[in-house]
Amino acid sequence: MPNTLTIIVPVYNEEKNLTRVEKELQSYIDQCKLKITVLFVNDGSKDSSLQIIKQICTQNKTFNYLNFDKNYGLSTAIKAGFDHAESSLVGYIDSDLQTSPKDFNLLLEYIDDYDLVTGVRSNRKDSLIKNMSSKIANGIRRSFTQDGMDDTGCPLKIIKADYAKRIPMFQGLHRFLPAMILLQNGTVKQVPVQHFPRIAGKGKFGVWNRLLGPLADCIAYIWMKKKYINYKIADKA
């Protein structure tokens, strides 16, 4: 198994969650055999998130941060994390902690044999409307991509860094990470993980951007798939 991991944590107006994020991630790091770095990506937060992140990173050298000059969106935050990671693996978890860092271990069990391992939120703790809109959006996306994934919106993933860094990024890409690995002839697996209710802060996606966004992104993905350049060197001198 690769032995270094960068955990990317996108942040947008999550001041009420960040102390808990540090505590839970540090608890996971303390019992994990991998060498782990946490990378906060502050996506133009308008609350005190940046100040709290800076304090965490000053006190704990395992934690680092990137700070955007304005809000660019989740996909850009994830891409920035990929670009700046220096580890053999990259992970991703949301700062709302509706998934548990401890469940990274469930994904790591398979990373030797797959290039991306993603969580599938079992027994989701969201509202009925949110669950239904996510289910419809996943069905739309799956019909376009044929990636076989049931829950690409799950904010808990592990990816081999060389694959992550080659992903051609666009807005909305966070819904298409498994499909982008498959474009590289990589392999993907999904694993059930825990899901928890949000206990602080506010969700960033509503019903409409959860439904209309994926449809528009699917069209962009189909265009990219047709134009995507992928090759293998058979021989050279």
The pLDDT assigned to 125 comes to: 60
pLDDT 10s digit of each residue in the chain, 237 long? 568 999 999 999 999 999 999 999 999 999 998 999 999 999 999 999 999 999 999 999 999 999 999 999 998 999 999 999 999 999 999 999 999 999 999 999 999 999 999 999 877 665 666 666 666 666 666 666 667 777 777 889 999 999 999 987 777 777 888 988 988 999 999 999 998 877 876 655 555 555 566 677 777 777 777 777 677 778 787
The pLDDT assigned to 91 comes to: 97
The pLDDT assigned to 146 comes to: 67
The pLDDT assigned to 97 comes to: 92
Q: CA-to-CA distance for 160 and 181, rounded, in angstroms? A: 10
- For the chain, the domains span 4-125+151-202
What is the CATH number assigned to the segment(s) 4-125+151-202?
3.90.550.10
The phi and psi torsions of 216 (rounded to 5 degrees) equal: -65, -40
- Helical segments of the chain, H only: 18-31, 49-59, 74-84, 104-108, 128-145, 161-164, 177-183, 207-227
pTM given for the model: 0.83
Residues near 181 by Cβ (< 8 Å), separated by ≥ 6? 115, 116, 159, 163, 167, 187, 188
